Amino acid sequence: MTAESKPLNVLFLCTHNSARSILAEALLNHLGQGRFKAYSAGSSPRENQRPNPLALETLTKAGLPVEGLYSKSWDEFGKPDAPHMDLVITVCDNAAGEVCPFWPGQPATAHWGYADPSEVDGDDDKKREAFKQTLHMMRKRLDIFVNLPQSSLSKMAIEKTARDLAKS
């Protein structure tokens, strides 16, 4: 695989890696069509943490694959054999404020904050709607991201590009 055809590795971070980061990982892997390889992790996933069932349901209803999605610590991506990230995006305000581990290769960073759909007050229907809306907001931003010209995704430009997208 040439350097030009090598996918851009993107890590989405949240506190527990059960909802927002899982949604973003699945969505970018679908939309990226091989140009991007998305991962997700949490700064402090609970013991035996699993993806939120409503997150998986939302992805399935949207026609997105959920195979292989699981909750994991961001420590997995600091190991010597971990894939090197080109971009690390926090998707929750808690993770954005935490001191991140050293990322091999010094990837670009950005914060794309989304409200936690699992924290919505109300019944499961209200929570389902919150998950659906979160996925919709992520899709709008990621649709722009995956359609950017290659020059906007260079090492020098990617951080500015990702941070500018946080404003959209």
pLDDT at 3: 47
Q: How many domains does the chain have?
A: 1
Q: Would residue 163 count as lying in a domain?
A: no
Q: State both tokens at 45.
A: 């996933």
> pTM of the full predicted structure?
0.88
How far apart, in whole angstroms, are the C-alpha atoms of residue 132 and residue 136? Answer: 6
CATH of the domain at 22: 3.40.50.2300
Q: How high is the mean pLDDT in each 10-residue block of the chain (168 residues)?
A: 71 93 98 94 85 97 96 89 91 64 76 92 95 97 92 75 81
Show Cβ contacts of residue 34 under 8 Å, excluding neighbours closer than 6 positions: 7
pLDDT computed for residue 2 by the predictor: 39
Residue-level pLDDT at 110:
87
Residue 29 resides in a domain: yes
